[in-house]
Homo-oligomer: A and B are copies of this chain.
Amino acid sequence: MSLSEHLEGFPITLRWPVAWGDMDAFQHVNNVVYFRWFESARIAYFEACGWNERMRTSGVGPILAHTACAFRAPLTFPDHVLLGARAEGLESDRFTMRYRVVSEALGRVAAEGEGRVVSYDYRAAAKAPIPEDVRRAILDLEGRGGGQ
């Protein structure tokens, strides 16, 4: 099984270097680093569906309401990780983002995560529907656009 097969079904993928300084005193990559990686994958997803740009023009942007990580295998420097992000459970004002971390050195999935993303109108300080063009872009990214 090739590494990229571990990320099948993830429309957004990134390759990221593990830094020596990502390791903690137990000499494994520290748990907080995974959430930084999830964030990088999430931001890349938002970029791909136009939400970063839309936020600047409309004031409606994403808020992270909950996040979690299941650690499957400890990581060490040197290594590179492949990061995957996909959306599921899309509702009018929220969805769940799924993350996967694949280690090149280990050749396997090292962690899986999720984040509950809520759409928020920063100007009105209230929940707001996901902007329609962002919503369509998410459906397209997830292969569910186009009238099916």
Copies of this chain: 4
Q: Is the interface of A mostly helix, strand, loop or mixed?
A: mixed
Q: Determine the interface band of chain A, counting residues with CB < 8 A from chain B.
A: 20 to 34
Q: Mark A50-74, 1 if CB is under 8 A from B, else 0.
A: 0000000000000111111111000
Q: Mark A24-66, 1 if CB is under 8 A from B, else 0.
A: 1101001111011001100100010000000000000001111
Which residues of the other chain, B, contact A68 by a CB distance below 8 angstroms?
Answer: 66-69
With both chains docked as a complex, state the minimum distance between the C-beta of A92 and any C-beta of chain B, in angstroms: 21
Which residues of the other chain, B, contact A64 by a CB distance below 8 angstroms?
Answer: 31, 71
Q: A64 to B28: give the CA distance in the assembly, Å.
A: 12
Q: Knowing A68-B68, A70-B65 touch, does A20 contact B39 (C-beta < 8 A)?
A: yes
A: residues with CB less than 8 A from B are: 14, 16-17, 19-21, 23-25, 27, 30-33, 35-36, 39-40, 43, 47, 63-71, 77-78
